[in-house]
Chain A
């Protein structure tokens, strides 16, 4: 009697364990999985693209969030079970993913007129969706008078003591360090390609290292500013823009904004490639693209879409002429080639 009981219990345990194994769901053709960054940004995509698309085509869009890294995609590809259909990636991953065979090469006849996209936004495996910028912001309640106005103020802990927030990657920080150290903006990537240039950038970062609070997710900088953890922080301009819309008294410093793009890509091996192309075509239509700027302060990457953006919102966008005065355009090829090395050096520097 006791034996039978023990046998049943262990058999049940094994059955339960195996039933929790993830069985790949049969993908319905009327469902699309779109992966993006979460927070205010995904919210803007939902309002501008997903909801209109779902209403017009009747296809269900399943949203997923990720942290910008393609490790999971590679694991899915190796296992032969890619469940993502469309991904919003940053420029570094658009290039790297293409080189590593993780992304489909795009057939622009299914998307739109390639020449209408801004230069540098119609790549082999990726089509641009928004232009965003890395800026730094401060809490205007803290700095009522004599607020920071230039990039040098970010590195000036004597005049503006307190903690600063920076993205926990070398991307963007090394360029700013060199510019603050006196390197002219046009020469930044040239200098950064040399070992002495990289040393110079890290040395400049060393001067504020102990005052840095590192953020990893786009939603963190507005939070850090709001709860007083930092006095100024680098951030993606749209996230700060949305915090300002919600009533926070933050101000953006556009000096040496780092101009960059996000792209739509299709993972190689996706099961719903036609659906993916259809969505990207919808999202790249100038009429639809121009809608996103209403919900978050990012600019479209299509010439016709830019013309359709509401002029009242224009000053908050990175592409506004006043904001573009000292803008630095991120060198995608430089980062595609050097991201890994510099990240390794950056992590070693962080750990010291």
Chain B
């Protein structure tokens, strides 16, 4: 039946149908927007704003902003290669004197120390000297106090620190730093972070793989058993899941100790005690235990929606048991696997307490260092950059994952 395209359709009150439809669509969209607005504002306030603040902290020279103005001006024309002239020394002395009165000189010394090891004590020493001096010349006083003041690298660091923004923290989180001619690698005995990131992603990946291998069969069992038995088995999965993370980690600490029950059992069977606590083995074991329900449950929920008739049909058409499973059942569980693995991987990246309690010094993940810079060194900039770098790498990985697996288009049953 051909529809006349020439005359536009009209509704009862004479308005064109298209217009009516568009209006209804718009009002539906506005209502939907109004409903999610409170939640959206909540996410902005509690998620995006802190992230923005973290990004800001990772590039701002918090300890020196506004406190090295004169030095900054004096070094503007400096060539970066030789020792600066008296004007620069005088400017630095003036800035340090002013800072000392406001009790800010210590923070300046600390900031320079981040990039130039040992500078803190030299700064403190010279600050004491110049505050007792009424006027210059200052260059000789500095140079006779310590030979470090003749090092152009120190002055490059001071110049960078006197700017409001710095790339120091982001560079250092990938073991780089500002050298004489551009960016260079940090000396090997100070290069820690690239290893730490590699270790973090490796452990997270390992835990994801292990939870998948262990969780898939259990999910299959849960999905295919009769309801009474399945519910009972489900309780065995859920009860540990509902127990606090810290309680479970501490339980592993007790189990894995060299005088603990597992080692007592090992002594009985193979007459030897194994070192399990404060090792990579212990860390991965505890993390796998904690993450297992996170991988298992999405897979289970997808498996529940697969009609058992599919596999039966495949068998009746002549497929062997493994073939039927692999070609008919497994592909339908892929969305669940993808979701479960992604969840476990992302969660594992952020683990702090489990490696801290059960792992050794070589098992600490990025979060430990973020906490270390926040608490011990009180260098919020470095902590922010480390966290930000983790976020960026994770987002890049997620984008690659999405391209491979197409998460956005998946349906989870």
Q: Would you call A69 an interface residue if the criterion is a C-beta within 8 Å of the partner chain's C-beta atoms? A: yes
Chain A 10-35 interface 0/1 with B at a Cβ cutoff of 8 Å (1 = within)? 11011001000000000000000000
Q: Is the CB of B192 within 8 A of A347?
A: yes
Chain B 92-103 interface 0/1 with A at a Cβ cutoff of 8 Å (1 = within)? 000000000011
A72 to B376, CA, bound (A): 10
Q: Is the CB of B35 within 8 A of A7?
A: yes
Q: Is the CB of B189 within 8 A of A345?
A: yes
Residues of B within 8 A of A344 (CB): 117, 190
Binds A, one of B37-45, B306-314, B342-350: B37-45
Residues of A within 8 A of B121 (CB): 337-338
A343 to B375, CA, bound (A): 13
29 A-B residue pairings within 8 Å (CB atoms): A3-B31, A6-B35, A7-B34, A10-B39, A13-B38, A14-B38, A14-B42, A67-B375, A69-B375, A71-B374, A72-B375, A74-B378, A99-B124, A100-B106, A101-B102, A101-B103, A101-B106, A101-B107, A213-B278, A228-B258, A229-B277, A337-B121, A340-B113, A340-B377, A341-B113, A341-B117, A347-B372, A348-B191, A350-B361
20 other contacts beyond A228-B259, A347-B372, A351-B195, with CB at 8 A cut-off?
A13-B42, A14-B41, A17-B42, A69-B376, A71-B375, A74-B380, A96-B106, A99-B105, A100-B106, A100-B378, A213-B278, A228-B258, A229-B259, A337-B121, A338-B118, A340-B377, A341-B118, A341-B120, A348-B191, A348-B192
A341 to B376, CA, bound (A): 12
Q: Is the CB of B258 within 8 A of A229?
A: yes
Residues of B within 8 A of A347 (CB): 192, 372
Q: Would you call A146 an interface residue if the criterion is a C-beta within 8 Å of the partner chain's C-beta atoms? A: no
Q: Is the CB of A351 within 8 A of B36?
A: no
Closest CB pairs A-B (n = 7)? A99-B106, A337-B121, A71-B375, A350-B361, A101-B103, A69-B375, A14-B38
Q: How far is the CB of B26 from chain A (nearest CB, A)?
A: 16
Q: Would you call A227 an interface residue if the criterion is a C-beta within 8 Å of the partner chain's C-beta atoms? A: yes
A72 to B374, CA, bound (A): 8
Chain B 236-267 interface 0/1 with A at a Cβ cutoff of 8 Å (1 = within)? 00000000000000000000011100000000
- Chain B interface mostly: helix
Task: Write the chain A residue with the least CB distance to B260.
Answer: A227
Q: Is the CB of A100 within 8 A of B258?
A: no
Q: Is the CB of B376 within 8 A of A71?
A: yes
Task: Write the chain B residue with the least CB distance to A15.
Answer: B38
Q: Would you call A282 an interface residue if the criterion is a C-beta within 8 Å of the partner chain's C-beta atoms? A: no
Partner of B109, one of A10, A14, A99, A338: A99
Q: Would you call A140 an interface residue if the criterion is a C-beta within 8 Å of the partner chain's C-beta atoms? A: no
Task: Write the chain B residue with the least CB distance to A350.
Answer: B361
Q: Is the CB of B376 within 8 A of A14?
A: no
Q: Is the CB of B257 within 8 A of A227?
A: yes
A70 to B110, CA, bound (A): 15
Residues of B within 8 A of A14 (CB): 38-39, 41-42
Residues of B within 8 A of A101 (CB): 102-104, 106-107
A203 to B364, CA, bound (A): 23
Q: Would you call B362 an interface residue if the criterion is a C-beta within 8 Å of the partner chain's C-beta atoms? A: yes
Q: How far is the CB of A221 from chain B (nearest CB, A)?
A: 15
Q: Would you call A160 an interface residue if the criterion is a C-beta within 8 Å of the partner chain's C-beta atoms? A: no
A227 to B41, CA, bound (A): 52
A350 to B31, CA, bound (A): 57
A112 to B106, CA, bound (A): 28
- The A-contacting residues of B in range 109-140, CB under 8 angstroms, are 109-110, 113, 117-118, 120-121, 124
Q: Would you call B316 an interface residue if the criterion is a C-beta within 8 Å of the partner chain's C-beta atoms? A: no
Q: Is the CB of A340 within 8 A of B120?
A: yes
Residues of A within 8 A of B79 (CB): none
Residues of B within 8 A of A71 (CB): 374-376, 378
Q: How far is the CB of A214 from chain B (nearest CB, A)?
A: 7
Q: How far is the CB of A82 from chain B (nearest CB, A)?
A: 15
A96 to B380, CA, bound (A): 16
Task: Write the chain A residue with the least CB distance to B363.
Answer: A351
Task: Write the chain B residue with the least CB distance to A338.
Answer: B121
Q: Is the CB of A3 within 8 A of B35?
A: yes
Residues of B within 8 A of A343 (CB): 376-377
Q: How far is the CB of B174 from chain A (nearest CB, A)?
A: 15
Chain B 30-65 interface 0/1 with A at a Cβ cutoff of 8 Å (1 = within)? 010011101101100010000000000000000000
Q: Would you call B196 an interface residue if the criterion is a C-beta within 8 Å of the partner chain's C-beta atoms? A: yes
A347 to B195, CA, bound (A): 13
Report which residue of A75, A214, A351 has the largest number of chain B beta carbons within 10 angstroms of its beta carbon.
Answer: A351
Residues of B within 8 A of A345 (CB): 189-190
Q: How far is the CB of B30 from chain A (nearest CB, A)?
A: 12
A13 to B39, CA, bound (A): 8
A338 to B46, CA, bound (A): 38
Task: Write the chain A residue with the least CB distance to B110.
Answer: A100
A348 to B42, CA, bound (A): 40
- The B-contacting residues of A in range 94-149, CB under 8 angstroms, are 96, 98-101
A227 to B117, CA, bound (A): 40
Q: How far is the CB of B179 from chain A (nearest CB, A)?
A: 19
A70-B120 CB under 8 A given contacts A14-B41, A100-B106, A101-B104:
no
A17 to B39, CA, bound (A): 10
Chain A 237-260 interface 0/1 with B at a Cβ cutoff of 8 Å (1 = within)? 000000000000000000000000
Q: Is the CB of A351 within 8 A of B196?
A: yes
Q: How far is the CB of B352 from chain A (nearest CB, A)?
A: 14
Partner of A229, one of B109, B192, B257: B257
- The B-contacting residues of A in range 62-106, CB under 8 angstroms, are 67, 69-72, 74-75, 96, 98-101
A345 to B377, CA, bound (A): 13
Chain A 313-352 interface 0/1 with B at a Cβ cutoff of 8 Å (1 = within)? 0000000000000000000000001101101110110111
Q: How far is the CB of B172 from chain A (nearest CB, A)?
A: 11
Q: Is the CB of A70 within 8 A of B378?
A: yes
